[in-house]
């Protein structure tokens, strides 16, 4: 069966779900299902999907992922020490989670549990952002909603813990639909790390959707690390709404999956601040897409998009950035920048930065560059006695470092440098382990 | 034995001959200056000796401490003790000055079979040298050369040279873009590195740097060769009369 068939006409609306939930949920699923059946998977004719082709995905046979074979433990490296909620093929796994010691003011729980026990916590939020005809994958996810992760931060709560959500994928030809809901109450502050990775190198399909509400004056730092299996497909969308003076600092690292996309759709309230930095590292025949749409609907908001990618072998990178400034959104400050570093003649990068402006008192700009490593810089390093591969690692690392440096959370910067370093080691045989924050002149 | 021994060196860039039989011998402890008009091949000589890609040696030889330089890669030459202070130091965003220097110093230490210096030890090591060159902690922490003034970039080149302690230092128009105060700081840094074991080659257009770094020998380079060699007095003559008589002869 093709993806359109299995997810569309013939699919069981509940799959192997164990949760009924409240009546409104059934309605939400049903509407989403009808919507997906009407459109099918996105096609390249749609502007938003111009550079990422899902024809192969639609032609492959998929089965709903089983949630019964979760591993018995996480590696220490992944587990970390702080509070953590783990999903396995989209289902909450309590024994792989650590929710003890969660700060007052933070609720982190499985979506199914929340729907069963306290549906009123989320009935004003779930399914409210990730809707619309232009979002067939979100509809597909919603049609399959039965579990996921919910994070609720009480108004005014300053959470100094870093909260982790781990999504594990497993199973060849297995499809699952992780769902994440974040409600950051007015004036709160929190850092969330979302980590996607495999149990083993299987060709699974993760269709992830996050709905993120940032309250008035609230601050959310959201770091997403996509390290899926190298033969997997990872399609993710984060739908974000920022209330007045809300602040969202997003960072996305994409290094896994054969086909991957992270899409952000954000709507900004008055004087809101939305900063998205992203890095992608592609090799082999990977296709890594970062698509960001930011809507300035009220005055005085700021948005930043800064995306950097490194591509080698036959890897393909895509950046689509669109900043829309609506009529009432005067004093908007919106900037986009995309830079790609191509390390091989076969690597390809497509960029489509766009501004659409209907207000007259705004400051907006965009830029995109593509290039190879600078020969001047290589010579400079080598002329100081640094060997060629080390010099390469240093310069590529430095290129990526410029977006990592935008992350506020210092431990996350360190963790991301380690991931970039691992990738660079595989590429160059040399460590990228310069200490930028920590040792030097501290 | 000469420290640097260049014999009848011919080199070209993209089919264009630039060095046309250049010979030069620098002994330990000596400071040599090469002066010459634009286009005489001064920078080509420095890049050719450093081994930069695209600078092709067609004949002749160049040896450092009796070892053939031509067959060595850029980084091997650097580790063998050749240092080139660039005319236009490259800006490297994302790498702090300290990280860059530590990576370079540790590459040399590894080559000598020594343990790498950790971050804390290195800070102590470099801070003392930096202070002498009027380089602040803030400059060390900033991305390498990014947003540095011309003078700051050249001081940073001299700091690198100080940290790497080369056998032979080539300064390629290190005086370009410097005001008089920056030039004094740079010259003092260079003079502090003069030692009986070390050779220096100062490439310049102008007399003013050589007022502060008194060379033992001065060479005039025209059309890819050395056409005259003298002592410090040659500097004054060039400043007064220009290169006309050498250009006419060539």
Interface-testing mutation among B79, B99, B145, with chain A (most A C-beta atoms within 10 A): B99
HEC sequence for B85-154 = ECCCCCCEEEEEHHHHHHHHHHHHHHHCCCCCCCHHHHHHHHHHHHHHCCCCHHHHHCEECCCCCHHHHH
User: Which residue has tokens 């290129």?
Assistant: A399
Is residue A149 within 8 A of residue A165, CB to CB? The reply is yes
Strand partners, B230: B218
- The minimal CB distance from B75 to the residues A382, A435, A440 is found for A382
* Cα–Cα distance, A373 to B90 (Å, whole number): 13
Q: Given this model, what pLDDT does residue A13 score?
A: 42
Q: How far apart are CA A55 and CA A38, in angstroms?
A: 17
pLDDT tens digits for range A92-140? 999 999 999 999 999 999 999 999 999 999 999 999 999 877 889 999 9
Residues counted in chain A:
442
- Cα end-to-end distance, chain B, whole Å: 31
State in Å, rounded, how far the first CA of chain A is from the last one. 59
Residue in the structure block whose two tokens are 């800006």? B91
Judge whether B32 and B202 are in contact, CB under 8 Å: yes
What secondary structure letter does DSSP report for A9?
T
Contact A48, A291 (CB under 8 A): yes
Q: What is the ipTM of this complex?
A: 0.96
Nearest CB among A386, A402, A438 relative to B75 is that of A386
In the structure encoding, which two tokens stand for residue A262, read together?
């992270």
CA angle A165, A171, A175 (to 5 degrees): 70
Contact B92 A379 (CB under 8 A): no
Q: What is the pLDDT along chain A (442 residues), one digit of tens a residue?
A: 444 555 544 444 444 344 567 889 999 999 998 999 888 999 988 889 999 999 999 888 889 998 888 998 888 777 777 899 999 999 999 999 999 999 999 999 999 999 999 999 999 999 999 987 788 999 999 999 989 999 999 999 999 999 999 999 999 999 999 999 999 999 999 999 999 999 999 999 999 999 999 999 999 999 999 999 999 999 999 999 999 999 999 999 999 999 999 999 999 999 999 999 999 999 999 999 999 999 999 999 999 999 999 999 999 999 999 999 999 999 999 999 999 999 999 999 999 999 999 999 999 999 999 999 999 999 999 999 999 999 999 999 999 999 999 999 999 999 999 999 999 999 988 777 654 544 444 3
Q: Position of tokens 């579990």?
A: A147
Q: Do B93 and A438 touch (CB under 8 A)?
A: no
pLDDT digits (tens, 9 = 90+) for A47-104: 899 999 999 998 888 899 988 889 988 887 777 778 999 999 999 999 999 999 999 9
Q: Which chain A residues have a beta carbon less than 8 Å from that of B93? A: 398, 402
Q: How far apart are CA A315 and CA A313, in angstroms?
A: 6
Q: Across the beta sheet with A84-88, what order do the strands follow?
A: A91-92, A84-88, A158-169, A189-198, A219-226, A247-254, A273-282, A302-311, A332-342, A362-371
Other C-beta atoms within 10 Å of A56: how many? 11
Closest to B78 (Cβ–Cβ): which among A374, A385, A405?
Answer: A385
Q: Could B99 and A405 be called an inter-chain contact, meaning their C-beta atoms sit closer than 8 Å?
A: no
Which SS3 state, helix, strand or coil, does residue B46 take? helix
Instruction: Name the minimum distance, in Å, from the CA of B249 to any CA of chain A.
Output: 35
Q: Please state the rounded mean pLDDT for residues B193-212.
A: 92
Where in A326-372 does DSSP place strands (E)?
332-342, 348-357, 362-371
* Domains with residue ranges and CATH for chain B: 4-249 (3.40.50.300)
Alpha carbon distance B79, B24 (integer Å): 21
**Which structure tokens are listed for A393?**
């690692």
Backbone angles phi, psi at A4, to 5 degrees: -60, -35
A110/A122 Cα distance (integer angstroms):
12
Q: Do the Cβ atoms of B77 and B167 come closer than 8 Å?
A: no
Residue A442 burial class via C-beta count within 10 angstroms: exposed 0-12, middle 13-18, buried 19 and up: exposed
């Amino acid at each position: 069966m093709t993806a359109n068939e299995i997810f569309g006409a013939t699919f069981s609306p509940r799959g192997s779900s164990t949760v009924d939930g409240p009546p409104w949920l059934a309605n939400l699923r049903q509407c989403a299902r009808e919507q997906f059946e009407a459109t099918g998977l996105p096609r390249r004719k749609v502007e938003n999907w111009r550079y990422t082709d899902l024809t192969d995905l639609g032609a492959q046979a998929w089965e709903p992922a089983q949630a019964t074979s979760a591993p018995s433990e996480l590696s220490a490296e992944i587990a970390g020490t702080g509070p953590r909620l783990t999903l396995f093929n989209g289902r909450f796994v309590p024994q792989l989670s650590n929710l003890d010691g969660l700060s007052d003011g933070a609720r982190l729980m499985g979506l199914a549990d929340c729907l069963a026990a306290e549906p009123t916590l989320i009935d004003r939020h779930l399914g409210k952002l990730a809707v619309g005809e232009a979002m067939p994958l979100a509809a597909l996810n919603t049609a399959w909603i039965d579990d996921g992760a919910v994070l609720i931060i009480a108004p005014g709560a300053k959470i100094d813990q870093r909260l982790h959500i781990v999504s594990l994928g497993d199973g060849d030809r297995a499809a699952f639909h992780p769902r994440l809901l974040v409600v950051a109450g007015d004036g709160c502050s929190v850092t969330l790390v979302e980590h996607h990775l495999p149990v083993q190198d299987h060709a699974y399909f993760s269709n992830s959707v996050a709905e993120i509400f940032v309250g008035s004056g609230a601050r959310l730092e959201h770091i997403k690390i996509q390290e899926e299996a190298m033969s997997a497909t990872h399609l993710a969308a984060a739908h974000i709404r920022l209330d007045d003076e809300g602040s969202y600092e997003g960072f996305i690292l994409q290094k896994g999956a054969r086909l991957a996309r992270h899409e952000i759709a954000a709507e900004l309230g008055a004087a809101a601040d939305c900063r998205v930095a992203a890095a992608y590292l592609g090799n082999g025949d990977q296709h890594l897409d970062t698509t960001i749409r930011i809507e300035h609907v009220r005055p005085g908001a700021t948005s930043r998009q800064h995306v950097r990618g490194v591509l080698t072998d036959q890897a393909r990178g895509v950046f689509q950035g669109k900043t829309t400034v609506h009529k009432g959104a005067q004093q908007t400050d919106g900037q986009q920048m995309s830079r790609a570093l191509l390390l091989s003649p076969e690597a390809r990068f497509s960029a489509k930065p766009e501004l659409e402006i209907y207000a007259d008192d705004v400051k907006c700009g965009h830029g995109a560059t593509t290039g190879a490593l600078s020969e001047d810089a290589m010579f400079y390093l080598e002329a100081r006695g640094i060997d060629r591969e080390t010099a390469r690692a240093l310069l590529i690392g430095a290129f990526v470092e410029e977006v990592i440096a935008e992350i506020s959370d210092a431990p996350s910067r360190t963790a991301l440098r380690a991931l970039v370093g691992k990738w660079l080691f595989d590429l160059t045989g040399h460590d990228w382990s310069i200490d930028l924050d920590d040792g030097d002149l501290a | 034995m000469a420290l640097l021994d260049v014999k009848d060196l011919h080199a070209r860039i993209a089919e264009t001959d630039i060095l046309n039989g250049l010979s030069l011998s620098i002994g330990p402890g000596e400071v040599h200056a090469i002066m010459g008009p634009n286009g005489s091949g001064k920078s080509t000589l420095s890049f050719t000796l450093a081994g930069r890609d695209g600078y092709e040696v067609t004949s002749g030889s160049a040896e450092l401490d009796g070892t053939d330089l031509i067959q060595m890669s850029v980084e091997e030459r650097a580790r063998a003790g050749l240092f080139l202070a660039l005319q236009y130091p490259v800006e490297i965003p994302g790498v702090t000055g300290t990280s860059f220097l530590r990576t370079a110093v540790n590459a040399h230490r590894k080559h000598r079979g020594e343990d790498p210096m950790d971050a804390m030890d290195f800070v102590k090591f470099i801070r003392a040298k930096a202070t002498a060159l009027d380089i602040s902690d803030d400059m060390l922490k900033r991305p390498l050369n990014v947003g540095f003034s011309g003078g700051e970039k050249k001081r940073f080149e001299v700091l690198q040279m100080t940290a790497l302690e080369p056998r032979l230092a080539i300064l390629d128009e290190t005086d370009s873009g410097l005001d008089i105060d920056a030039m004094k700081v740079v010259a003092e840094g260079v003079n502090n590195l003069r030692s009986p074991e070390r050779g220096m080659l100062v490439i310049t257009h102008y007399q003013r740097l050589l007022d502060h770094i008194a060379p033992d020998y001065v060479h005039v380079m025209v059309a890819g060769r050395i056409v005259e060699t003298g002592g410090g007095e040659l500097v004054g003559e060039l400043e007064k009369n220009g290169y006309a008589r050498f250009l006419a002869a060539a």
